[in-house]
Amino acid sequence: MWNLISHFLIFAGGMASGVMLMCLMQTGKLADKEFETMKEE
């Protein structure tokens, strides 16, 4: 039983970190775009 719980927690942690990483990448891409448009003006 404990084995199942620990595996689920590891899986949930991996999913959460993956989602956070995706959000950070999206934010970085948006910031890059904004910086480019500021530099052009």
Q: What is the pLDDT of residues 1-41, one digit of tens each?
A: 999 999 999 999 999 999 999 999 999 999 888 888 888 77
Lookup: tokens for 17: 């970190």
Q: What is the pLDDT of residue 36?
A: 86
Q: What is the pLDDT of residue 38?
A: 86
pTM: 0.67
How far is it, in rounded angstroms, from Cα 26 to Cα 3? 35
Residue 22's nearest CA partner among 30, 7, 37, 6 is 30
Q: What is the pLDDT of residue 39?
A: 81
Q: What is the pLDDT of residue 13?
A: 97
